[in-house]
Structure 1
Amino acid sequence: MEKETKQNLLFSAYQYKILIGGIVAIALGFILMIGGGSDNPEVYSDAIFSFRRIHLAPTIVLLGFAICVYSIFAKQKVK
């Protein structure tokens, strides 16, 4: 009288792949924001205001969050 219970995952493999892609995009955006500082606090550097740190990196982070939200709402593929 054993009942076999099939254990269902919260997401499908497809959704997990999308979620991992979103997490990688978020990490890449934060990596692109790194740097721009100076070893000497008396020296000013314009490197902190580069296109990469001000525009590109935050856009990639927001895109990564959007991908993660999409992975949550995406329909599971039926076999």
Structure 2
Amino acid sequence: MAKKQNNPNGQAVKHEFIFHKKNYIFMFLGIAFIALGFILMAGGGSSDPNVFNADIFNFRRIRLAPTLVLIGLGIEIYAILLNPHKKNK
């Protein structure tokens, strides 16, 4: 996705995006993991402050949701550092 323009000296200048399609696919995948993790963390509240709800300490909120958020952050880092121009040997 390059765009060519002329600068004031009359030379052609090529503009490119920093990220490419592959980077954006991984970014959206990472955002989906993070969003799913936060959705799984939600809920479990009580309308009565005198009643304790033990559901806040279940596996989904303590282990699964934070793990999904960390995996999503790892995918985001990979998406940022991914170089689509690099040739595989």
- What TM-score do you get using the length of structure 2 for normalisation? 0.79
1:33 to 37, 41, 47: 41
Aligned partner of residue 14 in structure 2, secondary structure:
coil
- Gapped runs of 5+ residues in structure 1? none
Structure with higher Rg: it is 2
Q: Distance in 1 between matches of 2:46 and 2:72?
A: 29
Q: Distance in 1 between matches of 2:51 and 2:15?
A: 60
Shift, 1:33, TM fit: 0.3
Equivalent pair of 1:19/1:67 in contact (CA under 8 Å): yes
- What TM-score do you get using the length of structure 1 for normalisation? 0.88
1:68 to 67, 71, 76: 76
Which has the bigger relative contact order, CA under 8 A and spacing at least 6?
Answer: 1
Shift, 1:73, TM fit: 1.2
Aligned partner of residue 15 in structure 1, secondary structure:
helix
Question: Partner residue of 1:8?
Answer: 16
Identity percentage over the alignment? 45
Give the partner amino acid of 1:11: F
Shift, 1:30, TM fit: 0.6
- Gapped runs of 5+ residues in structure 2? 1-5
Aligned partner of residue 64 in structure 1, secondary structure:
helix
Higher helix share: 1
Higher strand share: 2
Shift, 1:4, TM fit: 4.0
Question: Partner residue of 2:67?
Answer: 59
- Count of aligned residue pairs for this structure pair: 78
Give the partner amino acid of 1:56: L
